[in-house]
């Protein structure tokens, strides 16, 4: 059975990721997201690993959280050995995509519904390495060569 990591940051990106829940049963899966009170209570229902939450608006703290999350992602990828990583963003999902790509995983990125006219920062970065890049707005498919319109997850 293929191994898939489903990853995103907490909040709206995680809500979009959970719209893919029906796919979990088809794979040996692992959900990787930031540890917040809203998602931590799901750990008994799903196979999950948590990264530290850090807002980029507190730059000094964010640098340390980012470094920690990079090493944690490496550890997760080496242990789980995913064939594919599916991400809905944002920065946490982007980190996992880059690290998993370095270890040979396929990357599937789904741009957030919130971005209607241009890609998010994470979307722009992951676009470069994504094997499949999906958008939820038809306008974005026209602007980016690799983009594939899939409609709305939510």
Distance CA 149, CA 131 (A): 15
pLDDT at 30 over 80: yes
Distance CA 17, CA 145 (A): 23
pTM for this model (two decimals) = 0.94
Fill in the DSSP letter of residue 144.
-
Distance CA 107, CA 103 (A): 11
**What pLDDT, on a 0 to 100 scale, did the predictor assign at position 54?**
79
Per-residue pLDDT tens digits for 7-22: 999 999 999 999 999 9
pLDDT (average), residues 49-73: 90
Q: Among 121, 110, 132, 136, which Cα is nearest to 13's? A: 110
The size of the chain, in residues, is 154
Per-residue pLDDT tens digits for 83-130: 999 999 998 999 999 999 999 999 999 999 999 999 999 999 999 999
Instruction: Provide the token pair at 66.
Output: 């980012």
């Amino acid at each position: 059975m293929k191994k898939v990591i489903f990853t995103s940051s907490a909040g709206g990106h995680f809500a979009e990721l959970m719209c893919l829940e029906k796919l979990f049963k088809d794979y040996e899966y692992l959900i990787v997201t930031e540890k917040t009170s809203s998602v931590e209570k799901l750990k008994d229902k799903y196979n999950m690993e948590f990264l530290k939450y850090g807002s980029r608006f507190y730059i000094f703290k964010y640098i340390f959280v980012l470094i920690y999350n990079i090493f944690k992602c490496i550890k997760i990828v080496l242990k789980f050995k995913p064939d594919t990583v599916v991400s809905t963003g944002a920065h946490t999902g982007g980190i996992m995509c880059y690290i998993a790509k370095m270890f040979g995983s396929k990357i599937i990125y789904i741009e957030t519904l919130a971005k209607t006219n241009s890609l998010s920062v994470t979307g722009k970065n992951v676009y470069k390495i994504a094997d499949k890049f999906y958008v939820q707005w038809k306008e974005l498919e026209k602007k980016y060569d690799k983009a594939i319109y899939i409609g709305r997850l939510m």
